[in-house]
Amino acid sequence: MRLQYFRKAVGLNNTIEEEATKSVKSQQAALMIHANGTLNHFPPDTWKCFTNDGKEAAANSLLTSTKNSASIDSYMRDQCSENYPVGHRRWLLWPRLKEIGIGNTSQYNALWVLGNPKCTSRCTGICCMAASRISTCKTSLPKMVFFHRKRRFLRN
């Protein structure tokens, strides 16, 4: 799984599971976004192909106009200034992430990352990958930055 590759690159080794109900709802979100040709975390009920499950998934998901494994690359790059405060990369590299839901069409992806009922341990920080090193990441591990609650340090 492409997501596991990036997580291992920053030292996260826990298993991420696909949760079937979240994936069904995420698929509905991706279809709604595809049918309307725009990304929206809070789609109105006037949208084509609208469902309440799709609306719930859109509110709890990362959304991009790419599909399959390319969507993970898109989230990791977090391109464009409007994505800076969003932190797609932050959600994918959250140490406590345990389960996801996946929805794809031929042009869009919805990846449910919010709400992890299986979390039992306390998180001590957030792993982040330098955006400049994400485009290839094939031959060398990117630098990892770990933000501790009280300190910040850089690790190679």
pLDDT surpassing 90 at residue 26: yes
Residue % of the chain over a pLDDT of 90: 40
Q: What is the distance between the alpha carbons of residues 109 and 100, in angstroms, rounded to a whole number? A: 13
Residue % of the chain over a pLDDT of 70: 69
Provide mean pLDDT across the span 84-113: 86
pLDDT of 137 reads: 35
pLDDT of 47 reads: 97
pLDDT in tens, 65-91: 988 888 888 888 877 666 655 578 788
Q: What is the distance between the alpha carbons of residues 156 and 30, in angstroms, rounded to a whole number? A: 36
pLDDT in tens, 120-144: 545 445 455 444 444 333 333 334 4
Other Cβ atoms less than 10 A from the Cβ of 86: the count is: 15
Model pTM greater than 0.85? no
Q: What is the distance between the alpha carbons of residues 12 and 65, in angstroms, rounded to a whole number? A: 27
Tell me the sheet residues that pair with 153. 146
pLDDT of 138 reads: 36
Q: Which residue has the higher pLDDT, 2 or 151?
A: 2
CA distances from 140 to 2, 26, 156 (A): 16, 33, 11
pLDDT of 84 reads: 59
The arrangement of strands across the sheet holding 125-129 comes to 125-129, 144-148, 152-155
Q: Tokens standing for 147?
A: 């933000």
By the 10 Å C-beta count (0-12 exposed, 13-18 middle, 19+ buried), 119 is classed as: middle
pLDDT surpassing 90 at residue 102: yes
Q: Which residue has the higher pLDDT, 106 or 88?
A: 106
Mean pLDDT of the chain: 77
pLDDT surpassing 90 at residue 1: no
pLDDT surpassing 50 at residue 156: no
